[in-house]
Amino acid sequence: LGMIGGKEHAERSIGAYRAALAIRPGTTTVLIGLAMALGSKGDVEGAIASYREIIRIDPKHALAHYALGGVLY
């Protein structure tokens, strides 16, 4: 799944990512998309939680570490 659009479509993106996670929980590529969509909507806490979940699943996931650092900075 890719990001459906910018801020104006963040809700649709978030819904699609959550639906995908309901089918395949813990899929890191989907969690990255969800984190990005949440961040673009302004849900910083949700984005942080998603990035941390990815790192919990895959501690060596470089993109999640990088993106989390960007959000926390």
Give 33-71 pLDDT, tens digit per residue: 999 999 999 999 999 999 999 999 999 999 999 999 999
Task: Pick the more confident residue, 58 or 4.
Answer: 58
Distant-in-sequence, close-in-space partners of 32: CB < 8 Å, separation ≥ 6: 50, 54, 63, 64, 67
Q: What is the mean pLDDT of residues 4-24?
A: 86
- How sure is the predictor about 72, in pLDDT bands with cuts at 50, 70 and 90? very high
